[in-house]
Amino acid sequence: MSEPVLEARDVAKHFPVGRRGVVRAVEDATLALLPGRIVALVGESGSGKTTLARVLARFYPPTSGEVLLHGRAGTGRRGYHSDVQLIFQDPFGSLNPLHRVRYNLERALRLHHRTRDRRELERQVLDLLERVSLSPAGDFVDKFPHELSGGQRQRVVIARALAVRPKVLLGDEPISMLDVSIRLDMLNLLARLRDEDGLALLYITHDIASARYLCDDIVVMYAGRMIEGGPKEDVIARPRHPYTKLLIESSPDPGRGEDDRAALFDGADELGEPPSLVNPPAGCRFHPRCPFAMPECEQSPPPRTDLGGGHWAHCWLHQKGRAGDLASTTHAAAPALRAAGPADAPGAADDCGDGKEEGP
Amino acid sequence: MKVRAGSAIIAFFALVAIFGGWFSETVLGLDPRANDIQAIAQPPSGEHLLGTTQFGQDVLAQVIAGASGSMFVGFLAAAIGTALAVLVGVTAGYFGGGVDGVLNFLTNLFLVMPVLPLIFVVAGYLQGTGLWTIALIIGLFGWAGGARTLRAQAMSVAGRDFVRAMRLLGESNRRLVFFEVLPHLTGLIASMFLHALIGAVLAEAGLAFLGISDSAAISWGTMIQAAQQQSAVLRGLWWWFVPPGLCIALIGTAAALVNFGVDEVANPKLRVVRTRRRRIARSEAA
Amino acid sequence: MTSQTQEHAPATPAAHRAVLRVDGLSVEYAGEVRACVDVSFTLRRGEILGVAGESGSGKSTLITALTRLQRPPAVTTAGRILYHGRDGGPPVDLVTLDDKALRDLRWTSLSIVLQSAMDALNPVLRLGAQFADALRAHDRRMSKKEAWQRAAELLAMVGISADRVRGYPHQLSGGMRQRAAIALALACRPDLVVMDEPTTAVDVVMQRQILSQVLRLRDELGFAVVFVTHDLSLLLEVADRIAIMYAGRIVEIGTARALYTGPKHPYTQGLRDSFPPLHAPLRPLSGIPGSPPDLRRPPPGCAFHPRCPERFDGCDRILPELVPAAGHEVACLLYPAGGDR
């Protein structure tokens, strides 16, 4: 296996709020991006996935832990960004409305490759547009962003990032604001860049089905922590963390049979909500919602369990030999299970607030 | 539309200021400083279209010359004030953090400072206040409001994804400010300049009326002050103070008109309405 | 051409079982953009009808027209929206209904949940007070105490504990507020709830909870739902029937199952294949080339023809009509009227 291009080791990012509060947006995040592979970082809003991406893009430094590029920390800004680029979520916001397509690409080329010759510059600009399937490139090069559709804009954004010739591309929900019918083409484009250029890609998304379509490995985040990861088919077919299972069961899948669907919908009224990150639950952050919660879960964060084949999870079930419980039920059926079970976890409905006071 | 009407008034006076001197000298054959002792405090007539002053000076020629004095002060003060506002406001808004803390403190200081008494003090200290000095004083004390608006706008533009994206590309701060952020503020800066110009003309008139000016220079303010000193109102010499007063009132109207325009550019609420209208037009399609 | 839809529908002694019949509805913006063209469908009692489309498909316009929430420059230029009341009396046409009658109908018969409904709750009023206001506005005999009691019941119905009645909206999470908005929409037992992207602003787990509740409440209370979203994969799971809109027209309408297993219109096929599967074996998918049309300049003939992989001579000239095809209806020249393929 080749060396990782970009690595996060035990990265934490905290943001101060108010006078003394701290939002623990990301904790203990460890991640390696390899050339020619796509890792999907999956989680709901507030799971810390975007914060982690921004730490990796050096928008802000981590509170603790380190980010290594080619195994080294402390690369200068220009040097770092000539290897690591980020694709933003909103293609309407990440292109300056006052600049033509050409300007964006030329700036990138001039800054990173000192290309000065006009003809050479023109050739490279057109080349880049062709590579992101904006062809004939001549039709697009002099357009302003508002003259392009959302998908075309996102392609320009990708072309701009590629102009730098990066080794790593971070995609922060790059398709979530695009029209449904053009999303897959964008994913296909990213997959092609991985195959042709050997780019290392981090695909951040809340949509686990699109993650499965695009990526090689999946890492699931919940409430600021990575809770499970591994090869995509392993993780999706046999989730080994209760939250991953919940996420998969909640995601729409038209391919489900009627019976499966009934089993997933009936009783899925009360699945709870993620905790506040200002004052997250002790131990496993999922334990207040977890139908399998045990006393250990409230006390200390579960250690990483390696499950073979690169699949890992942070869950006490694996330490206590209860992994079978997880596979045998659904979250929809779980409230009943919890009512009957011995675990005395507090009710999910009480944990949905974000640390705010109850009404008077 | 309103901005355009306001700008038209300003443009008219600017033209008068530039070409008026030549016009009154060669076409009308008048000298604003010449004392015609044959015609002292005469009402408007064929010879003196707007009458004459107590000193036998032609009021029309004076109003024209006054325009150039007033507009000179206006332009200079507005240029100084706007430049300072851009420098302080955009720097504070773009960099944020400690830089913003210091500059914002400075801005607030100038906002709450009692400007008028200060101008008296400074003007008294600098003896012999020419139009240059007046313009300098008005500009130096009048930038804070604009800086505050620009700071907010710069902050919002600097936080947009496209600025982040270009920074990620390796653009320098200088380039980010001048090529990504500032172009989005040009409309605001332009209308701010216009507004400052008008404000300075009014301020100069006010200061002259209060006696802070160069009595040798001709501006609308010094004209009114001279009329006031000669009790023109009591003596019914209306043609002496009405024309410069009317000019100042017109400039004030222009100020009000431009104000609406500035509001629309600077006030996010009004702008939201506009963009929302546009967005609706787009999503209607949806 | 719209009447055709009706003619081919099963002969209708069961008309009273319909709660809404939309017939040839067209909406224009300032006479320039035809955002909704000749839309016809029937909604049965207790049925969930999904409306799927991308931006520019006219689905949002359809919602505002159905609920009469549209504002100028949007104008309904043609068609009827017939609402059949519970009492079995003659239907009323929502398009021509006067404001007073419309007010009486809202909440009690017809209510709406918007994507941003969670933000529509008044931040300075206690939840219970907002519910009580709505309840008492439509039933003046109800006492304040009864209204608060009922508010607590309604919130409990969507899984919000009774003590929250005295709380303020900001004390609830976004997902909880959206549930409260749904409870509020159901407060006066409407026959029909129109939902516009009701779960787009919340995360998938909350989405599942909300939809699960909507399905349960639908079974308990028997209201019908028009559910509009861009997320076809979601509709395939929750809707009974689905209408696919493109460029302001319904291009295909049928049961969710039929649309999933045998979509007829090339656009429906493309849209279905734009959602990669979660469990089924992966294969390369390609979405739909091009982008949705600009409604100010819609393409001639079938609006989809510039993006259609199966277009042939005529697609750019002839406007296809919605005709029955193997159990559902489709508007595509591949399926000529009469010829069942």
Read off the CATH number of the domain in which A206 is found.
Answer: 3.40.50.300
Nearest to C203 by CA among A223, B49, A69: A223
A123: in domain: yes
Structure token digits, residue B131: 């139009």
The answer to whether the CB of A213 falls within 8 A of the CB of C278 is no
More confident: A324 or B249 = B249
Within chain A, residue ranges assigned H as helices are 49-56, 77-81, 101-113, 118-131, 150-163, 180-197, 208-214, 232-237, 242-250, 258-265, 295-299, 316-319, 323-327, 334-340
| Interface predicted TM-score (ipTM) of this complex, two decimals | 0.85
Touching subunits for chain C (3+ Cβ pairs under 8 A): A, B
Contact status of B279 with chain C (Cβ, < 8 Å): no
When CB atoms are compared, the residue of B160, B168, B171 closest to A85 is: B168
pLDDT band (50, 70, 90) for residue C68: confident
How many structural domains is chain A composed of? 3
Is residue B168 within 8 Å of A57, Cβ to Cβ?
yes
Helix axes B268-284, B238-266, angle to 10 degrees: 50
Per-residue confidence band for C162, with pLDDT thresholds at 50, 70 and 90: confident
- Closest residue in A to C54 (Cα–Cα): A179
* Residue among A276, A277, A288 at smallest CA distance from A338: A288
Peptide bond into A242 cis (omega under 30): no
Confidence of residue B128 (pLDDT cuts 50, 70, 90): low
Report the side by side order of strands in the sheet with A21-33: A21-33, A6-17, A64-69
Nearest by CB to residue C171, choosing from A150, A249, A359, is A359
Amino acid letter for position A215: C
Q: Which residue of C236, C278, C282, C288 is the best one to mutate when testing the A interface, meaning the one whose CB has the most A CBs within 10 A?
A: C278
Of residues A213 and C290, which shows the higher confidence score? A213
Confidence of residue C338 (pLDDT cuts 50, 70, 90): low
Summarised one tens digit per residue, pLDDT across range B61-119 is 888 888 888 888 888 999 999 999 999 999 999 998 889 999 999 999 888 888 778 77
* Cβ atoms of residues C298 and C36 within 8 Å: no
Q: pLDDT-derived band of residue C12, with 50, 70 and 90 as boundaries?
A: very low
A73-94: average pLDDT? 88
| SS (HEC) of C218-263 | HHHHCCEEEEEECCHHHHHHHCCEEEEEECCEEEEEEEHHHHHHCC
Strand bridging mode C328-330 / C323-325: antiparallel
Torsion, Cα C65 C69 C70 C76, to 10 degrees, reads: 40
- The percent of residues in chain B predicted with pLDDT above 70, rounded, is 87
C33 contacts in B (CB within 8 Å)?
284-285
Half-sphere exposure at residue A356, Cβ-oriented, CA atoms within 13 angstroms? 13
A247, two tokens: 């996420």
Residue ranges making up the domain that contains A262: 240-351
The structural domains of chain B, with segments of one domain joined by +, span 2-30+64-284
What is the pLDDT at residue A226? 95
Give the Cα separation of C214 and C218 in Å (integer): 6
| Most confident by average pLDDT, B130-139, B158-167, B204-213, C78-87 | B158-167
Is residue A166 reached through a cis peptide bond, with omega within 30 degrees of 0 on the bond before it? no
Provide, as residue numbers in chain B, all residues whose Cβ is less than 8 Å from the Cβ of C56: 285-286
Residue A295 belongs to some domain of the structure: yes
What is the structure's pLDDT at A179?
87
Query: What is the pLDDT, as a whole number, of residue B12?
Result: 85
Q: Residue C292 pLDDT > 60, yes or no?
A: yes
- The answer to whether residues A317 and A334 touch, using CB atoms and an 8 Å cutoff, is no
pLDDT tens-digit profile of A97-150? 999 999 999 999 988 887 778 888 999 999 999 999 888 888 899 999 988 988
Q: Which of A348-352, B149-153, C43-47 has the lowest mean pLDDT?
A: A348-352
Tens digits of residue pLDDT in C195-234: 998 888 888 998 988 898 899 899 988 999 999 999 999 9
If asked whether residues A156 and A174 sit together in one domain, one would say no
What is the percent of chain B with per-residue pLDDT over 90, rounded to a whole number? Answer: 20
- Residue C45 — φ and ψ, nearest 5°? -60, 135
Query: From its phi and psi, is residue B189 left (phi > 0), alpha (psi between -120 and 50) or beta?
Result: alpha
Q: How big is the A-C interface in CB pairs under 8 Å?
A: 159
More confident residue, B112 or B216: B112
* pLDDT, position B4: 80
Choose the most confident range, by mean pLDDT, from A108-117, A326-335, B75-84, B183-192: B75-84
Check pLDDT > 60 for residue C3: no
Whether A96 and B170 lie within 8 Å, measured CB to CB: no
A291 lies in some domain: yes
pLDDT the model gives residue B267: 52
Q: Which of A214, A253, A351 to mutate to test the interface with C (most CBs of C within 10 A)?
A: A253
Least CB-CB distance to B171: which of A86, A98, A111?
Answer: A111
Cross-chain residue pair B286–C57, CB shorter than 8 Å: yes
Instruction: Please indicate whether, in this complex, the C-beta atoms of C29 and B285 are within 8 angstroms of each other.
Output: yes
Dihedrals phi, psi of A145, to nearest 5 degrees? -50, -40
Joined together, the tokens standing for residue C330 give: 């489709």
Q: How confident is the model at residue B274 (pLDDT cuts 50, 70, 90)?
A: very low
CATH 1.10.287.3510 correct for B2-30+64-284:
no
Give, for A306, the enclosing helix (H) or strand (E). Answer: strand A304-306
Q: Say which of B165, B170, B179 has its CB closest to residue A88.
A: B165
Mean pLDDT of chain A, nearest integer: 86
> Is pLDDT at B271 greater than 50 in this prediction?
no
pLDDT digits (tens, 9 = 90+) for A2-19: 789 999 999 999 999 888
* pLDDT for A347: 39
CB-based contact B32:B277 (threshold 8 Å): no
The first and second tokens of residue C301, run together, are 């003939």
Separation of alpha carbons A109 and A125, rounded Å:
8
**Phi then psi dihedrals of residue B4, to 5 deg:** -65, -40
pLDDT at C341 (0 to 100): 44
Of A219, A237, A255, the last residue of a domain is: A237
* Distance from the C83 Cα atom to the nearest Cα atom in chain B, whole angstroms: 25
The mean-pLDDT minimum among A121-130, A233-242, C221-230, C322-331 falls in C322-331
Q: Print the SS3 string covering chain B.
A: CHHHHHHHHHHHHHHHHHHHHHHHHHHCCCCCCCCCCCCCCCCCCCCCCCCECCCCCEHHHHHHHHHHHHHHHHHHHHHHHHHHHHHHHHHHHHHCHHHHHHHHHHHHHHHHCCHHHHHHHHHHHCCCCCHHHHHHHHHHHCCHHHHHHHHHHHHHHHCCHHHHHHHHHCCCHHHHHHHHHHHHHHHHHHHHHHHHHHHHHHHHHHHHHCCCCCCCCCCHHHHHHHHHHCCCCCCCCHHHHHHHHHHHHHHHHHHHHHHHHHHHHHCHHHHHHHHHHHHHHHHHCC
Q: Residue B93's pLDDT is what?
A: 92
- In terms of domains, do A299 and A262 share one? yes
> Do B285 and C59 count as a contact with CB atoms less than 8 A apart?
no
Q: Give B282→chain C minimum CA distance, Å.
A: 8
Q: What is the pLDDT of residues A24-44, one digit of tens each?
A: 999 999 999 999 999 999 999
Same domain, A194 and A275: no
The answer as to whether A356 is a domain residue is no
pLDDT tier at A243, thresholds 50, 70, 90: very high
Residue A87 domain-assigned (yes or no):
no
**pLDDT digits over C99-134, tens only?**
888 888 888 888 988 887 777 788 888 888 888 888
> Is residue A353 scored above 90 in pLDDT?
no
Distance from CA of A82 to the nearest CA of C (A): 31
Instruction: Using CB atoms, list chains with 3+ pairs below 8 Å to chain A.
Output: B, C
Three-class DSSP category at C27 = strand
**A308: pLDDT strictly greater than 80:** yes
Question: Furthest-apart CA pair in chain C: how many Å?
Answer: 69
All partners of chain B with 3 or more CB pairs under 8 angstroms:
A, C
Alpha helices in C67-126 (DSSP H): 99-105, 117-120
Residues A156 and A215 in one domain: no
Last residue in a domain, options A185, A209, A237: A237
Closest partner residue to A81 (CB to CB) among B160, B169, B180 is B169
Give the HSE-up count for residue C171: Cα atoms under 13 Å, Cβ half-sphere: 18
Q: Are residues A175 and A316 in the same domain?
A: no
Task: State how far Cα C5 lies from the chain centre.
Answer: 19
Rounded to whole angstroms, the Cα distance separating B107 from B98 reads 14
Q: Which of A185, A217, A237 is where one domain is finished?
A: A237
Same domain (yes/no): A201, A224: yes
Q: What is the mean pLDDT of residues C29-43?
A: 87
Contact assignment for A253 to C215 by CB distance below 8 Å: no
Inter-chain CB proximity C60 and B281 less than 8 Å: no
